[in-house]
Amino acid sequence: MLLENWLFYLLYFLILFSSLMVILSENAVYSVLFLILTFCNTVLLLLLMGIEFFAFLLLIVYVGAIAVLFLFVVMMLNVKKTTLFGLGNLIYFVPLIFVSLIFILDFFYSLNLSFDVLKNLNYDIILINWIDQLTYKTNIETIGYVLYTNYSFLFITSSFILLISMIGVIVLTIHQKTNYILKRQNINNQLIRDSKMIIKFVNLRK
């Protein structure tokens, strides 16, 4: 148990360090690499906590798709180094430090809490005591049971919202293409045209 605690603290501080380096790095490529390192450390932290489904979902979606896409885009662009420690940029670090202190204090406050205390709490909004259910249910079974039973209406509603947004983008794109007259080359009409009607002599001396 002591080894797990040390690993938890190590991964937490690695996540904090890599997150700070994302915004403090002068090179954009290094920022994306530190972002990938942040996601990888988060995956290890979730695996250590026993949340396998969200860990692999984060690894596949963010690290495998989004972060790698950011990396290739930044490498293809000619991005120069940026200076973040100028006098004009110091004002942006004040709210960042304030929010970071709030998260750090919240983290150390949550260390004093125990999951055993949650069993004594009585919430009316909780339909099932999931703390007892986690002993014999996996993450995927628990998430699937919650989504398709208690929150099925919200799940279907969110899917319709995504469908409407996708259809809206397609309709807007088609509407722009129909109103825009494309200039195409018709070789047959070009060959049929009479040269006498095309060539004109203009007196530029006037």
Residue 28 within a domain? yes
Residue 71 within a domain? yes
Which of 43, 41, 49 lies closest to 10, judged by CA? 41
pLDDT at 118: 47
pLDDT at 115: 46
Give the CATH number, domain containing residue 119: 1.20.120.1200
Spatial neighbors of 131 by CB under 8 A, at least 6 apart, are: 115, 118, 119
Q: With a cut of 50, which residues of the chain have pLDDT below it? A: 87, 114-118, 121, 123-125
pLDDT at 136: 65
Structural domain count, the chain: 1
pLDDT at 66: 79
Which domain covers residue 59, as residue numbers? 2-134
Residue 79 within a domain? yes
Residue 31 within a domain? yes
Residue 184 within a domain? no
Residue 158 within a domain? no
Asked whether 32 and 74 are in contact (CB, 8 A), the reply is: yes
Dump pLDDT digits (tens) for 14-49. Answer: 998 998 888 888 777 788 888 888 988 999 988 888
Residue 103 within a domain? yes
Residue 92 within a domain? yes
